[in-house]
Amino acid sequence: MIHIERGGEGEREREREMGADLESLSEATSGAIGSLLSTTILYPLDTCKTKYQAEARDHGQQKYRF
């Protein structure tokens, strides 16, 4: 005996695909936000590090005040 539900297998397959699409979208959004925050925080710190390294090579003359 075969039982056919309303909507059938095609409908369930579309629901699964939609769930996968939403999951992928949320993961992509999380990655983009993480990358944005990382870049926003790390670039200024990298600039300070570079200035500090340049100062150390300048024969002991202090150019920047920390």
pLDDT tens, residue by residue, 21-48: 888 899 999 999 999 999 999 999 999 9
Dihedral of CA 29/34/39/40: which sign?
A: positive
**Distance, CA of 12 to CA of 6 (rounded, Å):** 10
The Cα 59–Cα 47 span in angstroms is 20
Q: What is the predicted pLDDT for the residue at 8?
A: 59
Percent of the chain's residues with pLDDT above 70: 55
**Residue 61 banded pLDDT, cuts 50, 70, 90:** low
| DSSP per residue, the chain | -----TTHHHHHHHHHHHHHHHHHHHHHHHHHHHHHHHHHHHHHHHHHHHHHHHHHTSTT------
Residue 4 has pLDDT above 70, yes or no: no
**For the chain, what percent of residues have pLDDT higher than 90?**
38
